[in-house]
A and B are shown apart, each in its own frame.
Chain A
Amino acid sequence: MPEVQAGHLSAFEVLYDRHAGAGYALAYRMLGRKQAAEDVIQESFLAVWRNRSRYDRTRGSVRSWLLWTVRNRAIDALRKQQSATPTLDSDDDATLERQEAGEPTADVALRNEQAAQVRGALSGLPDDQQRVLRLAFFSGYTHSEIAKRLELPLGTVKGRIRLGLEKVRTGLGEWAEDDR
C-alpha cells in the first residue's frame, strides 16, 4: 500500500488483482446484478485511489478498507433502487463458491477457509438472529426498516443484531485473534 500511496499505478494494479474478486463477489451478492456490481467496483476502486493518502494501516487492512467501501457503495445503490432486494437464499454462497475464484494463491485458500468458517458461524446462529444480520449486512436495511419488514419491535431487532454479532465474533475463535 505505501507504493499505492506514493502514486505507483503498477502497485495499484496489484492491489486490484488481489482484491477485485472479493469486492466483486460482495457487490454481486448484495446487488444481484452484474452491471450494478461492476459500477460499484469501479466507484470503489476510484475512491480508494482518490483517498489513498488517508489510508491508515493501524485501522485495518487494505482489503478490509476496500471491502468496507464496496459494501457502503452497494448499500447506497440498494437504497437508490429501493425496490431491489437481493434474495436471501442459503444457496447463494454455495453457488458463488463454485465459480472460478481467479486468485490461485495460498492467501485465497486461507480466506476461503475463513469464509467457510464465517458461513458456519452464521448458519449456526438461531434463524431469527441470522435473518436480521443478513438483512442489514447484505441488503442494507436499517434496524428500523428490518423491524417494520419483520413486524418486530425495534428493541427486539437491536437485541438480535447485538447477540448475533457477538456470537459470530466469539465463533471466529483463534484466527481472528491471530489475524490482528
Chain B
Amino acid sequence: MSDRLFGDSMNELVAAYMLGALPPEESAEVEQLIAGSHEARDYADWLRPALESMQESVAPRKAPDELRARVLEAVADEARAEDLVTGRARPDATHAPRRATRWRDRFSRPAAVGALTGALLFGGIGLWAGSTIEDAAQEPVRVEVVSGTATASLLPGNTTSTLELNGLGQPAEGRVYELWREHEGTTAPVGVFVPESDGQARVAATELNKEIERLVVTEEPRGGSPRPTGERVATLELRR
C-alpha cells in the first residue's frame, strides 16, 4: 500500500515520526509534510492503529491507590483555582477533595497568586480575577521592547489587559516566566506563564493602569516568586 502512495523514503520518515523516533526538529518537518500531503496523511492514518495497539501491548497494571488520591487531588486543586477566578459554580464540586483552607493560605501569598495564573494559562489564554480577555478594549498601547529578543503587544481592557509575547523561547526545566509591573521604582508581580510550543504567550493581567511605566519578564522557579530573583529576559516600556 505505502509504495503506491509515495516513495519508501517518505514512508520511512512518516513511520519514524509516528513511532516517535525522530528528534524534535525532524518531527516538526514531518508534521508539515503530513499537514500538506494527502498521501502522507493517508499513510499516517493507516499506520495509526499499529501505534495505538503498541500502546496497548502492555497488559494493564493496577496503579497504586495513593497515586489515584494524589492525581485527583491535584486536578481538584486546579479545578478550584478555575472556579475562584471565573466565579463559576462547579456542578459536581462535592466530588472534589476539599482543601479550602490550604487554598486560602496559598492566596495569602503574592507568589501564589502568580502560580494560580500560571495554572490557568490554558491554550495561551489567561483568565484573571473574574474577567476574561474578551472584555479587552480595542485601543492598543505601544510597547517598546528595550531589552531582550521578544516582540510584544498589549491590548488594554476595562478590567483586564492582555499582553502577547513572541520569541521568548521556553524557560529552563522546572522554571517559568514571571511578569512584573514597575512604577516609580516599585516592582509588583503580575503573573507567571509558559509560552506555547509555537513560542507565543498571552498573559491576562489586571491593575495595568495608566501609571504603570514598564513591564519586566524574569525567569523564576515554578510557582513564581514574590519578587524578581532571576535574569531579566525582557523589559517592555509602555508608551501611551
Contact = CB atoms under 8 A, between A and B. Distances in A.
B12 A159 contact: yes
Interface residues of B, number: 54
A179 B23 contact: no
Interface size class of A (residues with CB under 8 A): 35 or more
B71 A22 contact: no
Contacts of B70: 38, 42
A29 interface: yes
Contacts of A23: 63
Interface in B105-133: 122-123
A157 B110 CA distance: 53
A176 to B, nearest CB: 4
A9 B12 CA distance: 42
Contacts of B78: 46, 49-50
Contact of A143 (B22, B55, B67): B22
Interface stretch (B44-52, B136-144, B180-188, B220-228): B44-52
Given A21-B60, A60-B52, A133 B67 contact: no
Contacts of B47: 165-166, 169
Contact of A99 (B12, B59, B76): B59
A53 interface: yes
Contacts of A50: 78, 122
B121 to A, nearest CB: 9
Contacts of B49: 169, 172, 176, 179-180
A10 B67 contact: no
B133 to A, nearest CB: 15
Nearest to A61: B52
A90 interface: no
Interface in A1-42: 6-13, 16-17, 20-26, 28-29, 34, 38, 41-42
Interface in B4-56: 8-9, 11-13, 15-16, 18-23, 46-56
Interface of B: 1-2, 8-9, 11-13, 15-16, 18-23, 46-64, 67-68, 70-72, 74-76, 78-79, 82, 90-93, 95-96, 122-123, 173
Interface of A: 6-13, 16-17, 20-26, 28-29, 34, 38, 41-42, 45-46, 49-51, 53-54, 60, 64, 67-68, 71-72, 75, 80, 93, 96-97, 99-103, 108, 111-112, 114-115, 117-119, 121-122, 133, 136-137, 140-144, 146, 158-159, 161-162, 165-166, 168-169, 172, 176, 179-180
Given A13-B95, A64-B52, A162-B2, 8 more contacts: A10-B92, A24-B62, A25-B60, A26-B55, A71-B20, A143-B22, A161-B12, A172-B50
